[in-house]
């Protein structure tokens, strides 16, 4: 799910994506050892298969794959996976490789709850009564609708979030028909919420960034005690805000990072509208990101901007890591040069939206990263009436394992930041 989205039409699922530029591609393996691809990266069939389509009346396809961990008595007990446009329902066929789904998605957001002790999944859907339509989306606007039809039409798409006591708090973006974000929302719900629930989200009034309300706040979050760091993207810039978990819904309490001195000490402001850009000076990267703590350092991971590539080319298919920094505010740079963690091999699909899920390997020496595949632009089956069938496996996440020592030789152990 992304900020500069692509909207393709009735039968095509919406994806948080942006168009890729290739001008830096020729340099990615020429700058230093960090520019080389990590050959030790492997596929993760366990987590990939968790998202394989099944015959159940449940979540059958979707994108984004943002996860929020839930810890009880110091033990990871649940992970909540958030999707954007999603298919909910049954599939035709029992073979995951050939099973098909209705070509038109029902939900503009969806939540799947994974219980780690039993590996059991539950799909949290809206209170839609099986009638179809956008009511299947559990996360709804303050008026109780998942999709506003007035004007250009608006939809709520999930960003990142965190655990607060026994609740899950997730930041959401309000996007119009041109895929422009105009408001940040907050959804809050119990970790035990029912599988058919309407979660009414509330808008957060946050001051403009660079004169516009187009900052995608919640691209990532890091919890530190009672505080939460909130990463936001605007174009290819990355900004950082800070508030408390309790005050996340009160935008006036958000402090923007405005400077970092030579000793790494940050300056925060509750009035500034021009926060410090902590992103690498690159134009070919996605506006989704992950910032993970490994050993005592922080690593920025992003994928390339996706492109409409239905062949076997590598454009938009790379996942990058940048040199680790001592603090969550970086700033992150491309010196030494970024390292290519993985070149996504899937053909005849668009690929996008790499997301790290650090709770799955906390205390370990590798990271599990998801990416999404989407065949909507590549399918030879049109979606004219919304009833045509497409491969269920053509719109879903896949997962890989990346050894942290191959990101940087000084790294060894994934740390908790939630």
Quick check: is 189 in a domain? Answer: yes
pTM: 0.90
Quick check: is 58 in a domain? Answer: yes
Confidence of residue 92 (pLDDT cuts 50, 70, 90): confident
pLDDT at 46: 97
Q: What φ, ψ does residue 414 adopt, rounded to 5°?
A: -75, 130
Concatenating the DSSP letter of every residue in 189-200 gives EETT--SB--EE
**pLDDT(183) > 50:** yes
Nearest-angstrom CA–CA distance, 217 and 131: 33
Domain containing 397 equals 25-407
Confidence of residue 23 (pLDDT cuts 50, 70, 90): very low
Confidence of residue 147 (pLDDT cuts 50, 70, 90): confident
Nearest-angstrom CA–CA distance, 339 and 248: 34
**pLDDT(114) > 80:** yes
Quick check: is 334 in a domain? Answer: yes
Roughly how many angstroms between the first and final C-alpha of the chain, as a whole number? 21
Q: For the chain, what is the mean pLDDT?
A: 86
Look up the CATH number of the domain holding residue 290.
Answer: 2.115.10.20
Quick check: is 2 in a domain? Answer: no
Reported as a single tens digit per residue, the pLDDT across 184-229 is: 999 999 999 999 999 999 999 999 999 999 999 999 999 999 999 9
Quick check: is 418 in a domain? Answer: no
Q: 52 and 393 in contact (C-beta within 8 Å)?
A: yes
Quick check: is 258 in a domain? Answer: yes
Nearest-angstrom CA–CA distance, 357 and 160: 11
Domain count, the chain: 1
pLDDT at 21: 25
Query: What residues contact residue 72 under an 8 Å CB cut-off, 6+ apart?
Result: none
Quick check: is 40 in a domain? Answer: yes
- CB neighbour burial string for 69-99, b if at least 16 within 10 angstroms, e if fewer: bbeeeeebebbbbbbbbbbbbbbeeeebeeb
Q: What φ, ψ does residue 340 adopt, rounded to 5°?
A: -80, 115
Nearest-angstrom CA–CA distance, 43 and 370: 10
Quick check: is 233 in a domain? Answer: yes
pLDDT at 226: 96
Residue labelled with tokens 């300056």: 267
């Amino acid at each position: 799910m992304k900020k500069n989205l692509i909207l393709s039409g009735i039968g095509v699922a919406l994806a948080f994506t942006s168009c890729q530029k290739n001008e830096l591609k020729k340099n990615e393996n020429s700058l230093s050892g960090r520019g080389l691809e990590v050959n030790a990266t492997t596929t993760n069939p366990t987590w990939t298969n968790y998202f394989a389509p099944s015959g159940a009346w449940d979540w059958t396809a979707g994108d984004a794959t943002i996860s929020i961990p839930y810890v009880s008595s110091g033990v990871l007990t649940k992970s909540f996976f958030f999707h954007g446009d999603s298919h909910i329902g049954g599939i035709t066929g029992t073979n995951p490789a050939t099973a098909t789904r209705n070509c038109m998605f029902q939900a503009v957001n969806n939540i799947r709850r994974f219980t780690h002790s039993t590996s059991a999944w539950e799909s949290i859907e809206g209170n839609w009564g099986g009638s179809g339509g956008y009511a299947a989306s559990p996360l709804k606007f303050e008026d109780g609708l998942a999709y506003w039809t007035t004007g250009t039409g608006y939809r709520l798409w999930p960003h990142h979030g965190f655990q607060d006591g026994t609740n899950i708090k997730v930041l959401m973006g309000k996007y119009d028909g041109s895929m422009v974000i105009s408001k940040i929302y907050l959804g809050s719900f119990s970790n035990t919420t029912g599988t058919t629930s309407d979660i009414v989200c509330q808008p957060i009034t946050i001051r403009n960034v660079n004169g516009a309300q187009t900052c995608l706040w919640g691209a990532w979050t890091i919890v530190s005690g009672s505080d939460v760091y909130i990463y936001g993207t605007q174009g290819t810039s990355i900004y950082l805000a800070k508030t408390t978990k309790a005050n996340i819904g009160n935008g006036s309490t958000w402090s923007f990072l405005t400077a970092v001195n030579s000793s790494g000490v940050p300056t925060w402001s509750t009035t500034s509208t021009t926060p410090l850009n902590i992103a690498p000076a690159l134009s070919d990267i996605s506006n989704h990101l992950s910032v993970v703590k490994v050993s005592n350092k922080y690593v920025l991971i992003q994928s390339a901007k996706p492109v409409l590539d239905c062949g076997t080319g590598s454009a938009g298919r790379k996942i990058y890591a940048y040199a680790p920094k001592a603090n969550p505010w970086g700033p992150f740079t491309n010196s030494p040069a970024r390292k290519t963690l993985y070149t996504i091999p899937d053909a005849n699909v668009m690929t996008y939206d790499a997301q790290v899920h650090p709770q799955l390997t906390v205390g370990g020496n590798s990271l599990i990263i998801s990416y999404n595949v989407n065949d909507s632009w590549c399918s030879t089956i049109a979606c004219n009436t919304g009833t045509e069938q497409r491969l269920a496996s053509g719109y879903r996440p896949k997962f890989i394992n990346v050894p942290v020592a191959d990101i940087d030789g000084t790294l060894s152990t994934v740390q908790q930041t939630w």
